[in-house]
Structure 1
């Protein structure tokens, strides 16, 4: 499967979930290591005029889930992906559109994750996601463990 096809399938999957469809998210890019999601502030603004914390948490959860799902699809593995646990640090308010980058955690390895999944039918790995401030720096930082379970 081509990368473009896999990205279109991922976007379609996001939009097929009613709560996610209302977020108006789009895929901002994928460089082989990081998946970027984008959403307009206007859909996520809180009473203070900045991005709603729940939206930031959702976007980081979705970006991390999407990165694993994309990597599995490109590897030809049919599996369900679940978030096992996560932690979020809100560092600064965001008064701009939401751009989230998700990537594998520094101590994790794609090859080991995929090999374990193929061998045992189940594997877990760590991910990191960040919401960047337009002027530089990080508004929100997310760490999580995700589990993949082969279907069938």
Structure 2
């Protein structure tokens, strides 16, 4: 689902909540460093969140995407994914990145298209159940920035923590 389709007819129950994407985009835009990134939500299917930003806003001295921008985009995509799952569960929690690692595999000479999803072995239902019962939970997330010709320019792994608000 993209933000371009938000004006379409009401979503079927199996589709992600379009209003949640609008709230997520507004939250991103409320942070001054993020607002200048000119990022957009390119899609969300309930399992993967995709973000997009124009290369022109993130170009380095070599004409390719700035590494810090790639790291920020992947951090934001993973954070947004966790936040969407927490909200979909009807919970009110703060979400934080606990730790992360990034690998830069190839220069990206195109717009930044980033996708985040749960890491292999991570389970959203266990994460939400733990958050409900303990008031805090962790989940591992992976993200990558795609090269136009296929493959990844960067790979990102991180653990996110959610803590219920009291």
Report the TM-score when normalising by structure 2: 0.90
Matched, 1:33 2:50: no
2:7 aligns with none
Instruction: Report the CA distance between 1:107 and its aligned residue.
Output: 1.4
Deviations 1:50-75 (A, max 9, x none): 00000000000000000000111111
Size of the aligned set, in residue pairs, is 152
Instruction: Give the alignment of 1:107-122 within 5 angstroms.
Output: 107-122=121-136
Q: CA RMSD in A?
A: 1.1
Secondary structure of the corresponding residue to residue 45 of structure 1: coil
Instruction: Report the CA distance between 1:142 and its aligned residue.
Output: 0.1
Deviations 1:69-89 (A, max 9, x none): 011111111000000000000
133, 136, 141: which is aligned to 2:147?
A: 133
**Cα distance in structure 2, aligned partners of 1:4 and 1:30:** 9
Report the TM-score when normalising by structure 1: 0.98
1:150 aligns with 164
2:58 aligns with 44
Instruction: Report the CA distance between 1:99 and its aligned residue.
Output: 0.4
**Cα distance in structure 2, aligned partners of 1:107 and 1:90:** 23
1:101 aligns with 115
- Unaligned ranges ≥5, structure 1: none
- Unaligned ranges ≥5, structure 2: 1-15
2:73 aligns with 59
98, 101, 124: which is aligned to 2:138?
A: 124
